[in-house]
Amino acid sequence: MFEKITSLWSSTPAAPPYDPTNPKLNPLNPEGLKPCCACPQTKSARDDCFLNTSTSEADDKCKQLVENHLACMRSLGFKL
């Protein structure tokens, strides 16, 4: 409760929240890509694997593709 009151009197503005799509806050993503548009190659390979594999086998067969996509997203500064 008191920190909210104290922050009203504070002269320093609060830092903006981290936004991975903002190139000023995230130099790893200079184009400002949104998560839906980032890493299209690894995303389509991952999606194709899940669409073309039976549900019971998808976890094992698509695991490496999912890991590749997560690595690509993290390399752009997205927190997953």
User: Which residues are annotated binding-site positions?
Assistant: 36-37
Which residues contribute to the annotated binding site for Cu cation? 36-37
Which residues, 6 or more positions from 73, have their beta carbon under 8 angstroms from its beta carbon?
Answer: 35, 38, 39, 80
What separation in angstroms does the CA of 49 have from each of 4, 5, 31, 36?
A: 49, 53, 28, 18
